[in-house]
Structure 1
Amino acid sequence: MNVKKITQFGMLIGVAFILSYIENMIPFYIGIYGVKLGLANIVTVLVLYRFGGREALQISILRVLLVSFTFGNLYSLSYSLAGSLLSGIVMVTLMKTKKFSTVGISIAGGVAHNIGQLIVAMIVLEMKELLYYGGVLIISGSITGFFIGIAAKTTLSKWKN
């Protein structure tokens, strides 16, 4: 990795961390536990398109570790890591097909993130009944993924080499 790329990655991780901090400060609660805006995922989508899948996964994992150690605990780490990994894998896979738009990939990532967290919750709480909560999380992941995708698409169109 060259110095320019290392510097860009450091800045992108910093932006993702700040967006996570801002999201933690915003009193966003719509009455459904676990629904979040996912602002830092804008950075993941940007990195996916600008640098590639491996780099997007690396940035996402580093952000999750930093945020969890700063604001969270072991449980938040496990939930966030599962969601980020599944989301990243789904987005990278869909991007390779070249059949989905930035917004479509972001929506799939948002849904996959919520499904990853739901799987961890079902394992940790030993409650397969939580699967019924999946519909709500799929809808919320689609909505937030749509807006994250729009923000990423707009940013990518303005980002010069």
Structure 2
Amino acid sequence: MGVLLALALVFSYVESLIPFYFGVPGMKLGLTNTVVVLVLYLYGAPMALLISFLRIILSGFMFGNAFSIAYSLAGGLLSFFCMYLARRFLKLRMIGVSVVGGFTHNVGQIFMAVLLVNNYNVLFYLPVLMIAGCLTGVLIGIIAALIHDRIKHIAVLSQTGEV
């Protein structure tokens, strides 16, 4: 688990270095979601939730502030639970689950922004962020699916203790 958390933190750091700005504050690629989606499929929901939560808290302290932690928690936790539900009950494949995650992450962050800044005008960003979340969700889902196909046997071996 430590290696996966470290990988998520590295992705978080790398993402903070990438100038990705399309007129909407806070828009990111969501590279760290690759790790969360992979862990959800390889090791299950409890471990994926733990990795997501710890990554948000640790990266917030290392690269952000209290507001970034609040926004990330709102988006990350909503995103995780929706991805879990989409996988469990809708039986979506990895790309579909990732799209659900990208979409709902932005919804969670916007609603947290409404609460924190007490201004409903930030809701005008929602359509753009929802489209961006779907597009980046497809990209992250493709990457996660490609990685999953190459490493799923390692996860099985590590769970049986053969690695």
Q: TM-score, normalised by structure 1?
A: 0.92
**Alignment partner of 1:138 out of 120, 130, 138:** 130
Tell me which residue corresponds to 2:65.
73
Q: Which runs of 4+ in 1 moved over 6 A?
A: none
Report SS of the residue matched to 2:57. Answer: helix
Alignment deviations for residues 72-98 of structure 1 (CA, whole Å, 9 cap, x no partner): 100000000111100000000111125
Aligned match of 2:150 in 139, 154, 158?
158
Correspondent of 1:113 among 105, 125, 128:
105
Structure 2 gaps, min length 5: 155-163
Deviation at residue 31 of structure 1 after TM alignment: 2.2
Shift of 1:28: 1.7
1:32 is the counterpart of 2:11: no
Q: Distance in 2 between matches of 1:46 and 1:111?
A: 18
Number of aligned residues: 153
Unaligned residue ranges in structure 1 (runs of 5+): 1-8
Task: State percent identity of aligned pairs.
Answer: 44
Match of 2:50 among 49, 52, 58: 58
What is the TM-score normalised by the length of structure 2? 0.91
Partner of 2:118: 126
> Contact conserved, 2:74 with 2:108, CA < 8 A, in 1?
yes
